[in-house]
């Protein structure tokens, strides 16, 4: 599966800790991320992460385009609900495209935990059929 990782600044440490905790599961999958999130996760875990532009420069849109092309199977987007981002419309597009294409997306760590356990259990295996 291809998993996209995105974290707002206030949630980057949380994303790092999450990826350290689930490194064993994540290492079996293909990872991509917005620029800074990807850099921090790969440095902290040693996981290979394809890095797009940073969110502010269009990284969210690069990931959204891949979702539209059915190339991403799951999104972990740890959002900071307290700070408004100038590129928020791009983030909303990403969330909408996940709904359009039925891509599971976690916007907080509680949902992220459920998705990662479900992924390990095989709950997302149907994606390999619809991706063909």
Ligand X SMILES: O=C(CO)COP(=O)(O)O
Kindly list the residues in this chain that would bind ligand X in the complex (CB under 6 A): 6, 8, 34-37, 54-56, 59-60, 85, 87, 91
* Residue 27 C-beta: closest distance to ligand X, Å: 20
Binding-site residues for substrate:
8, 12, 34-37, 54-55, 87
Contact 72, 32 (CB under 8 A): yes
50: part of which helix (H) or strand (E)? strand 49-51
Query: Residue 57: phi, psi to the nearest 5?
Result: -95, 0
* Contact between residue 109 and residue 78 where contact means Cβ atoms under 8 Å apart: yes
CB 3 within 8 A of CB 116: no
Decide whether 8 or 127 has the Cβ nearer to ligand X. 8
Which position among 60, 73, 99, 123 bears the catalytic label? Answer: 60
Binding annotation: 8, 12, 34-37, 54-55, 87
**112: burial class by Cβ within 10 Å (0-12, 13-18, 19+)?**
buried
Minimal distance in Å, beta carbon 130 to ligand X? 26
**Residue 9 known to be catalytic:** no
Closest to ligand X by CB, 10 vs 100, is 10
- With respect to ligand X, which residue has the nearer C-beta, 73 or 91? 91
What residues are labeled active site? 60
């Amino acid at each position: 599966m291809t998993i996209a990782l995105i974290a707002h600044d206030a949630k980057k440490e949380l994303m790092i800790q999450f990826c350290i905790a689930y490194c064993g599961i994540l290492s079996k999958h293909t990872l991509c991320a917005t620029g800074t999130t990807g850099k921090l996760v790969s440095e902290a875990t040693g996981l290979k992460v394809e890095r797009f532009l940073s969110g502010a420069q269009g990284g969210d849109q690069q990931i959204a385009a891949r979702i539209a092309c059915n190339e991403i199977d799951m999104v972990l987007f740890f959002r900071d609900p307290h700070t408004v981002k100038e590129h928020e419309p791009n983030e909303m597009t990403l969330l909408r495209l996940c709904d359009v294409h039925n891509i599971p997306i976690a916007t907080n760590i509680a949902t992220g935990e459920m998705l990662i356990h479900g992924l390990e259990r095989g709950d997302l295996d149907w994606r390999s059929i619809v991706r063909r």
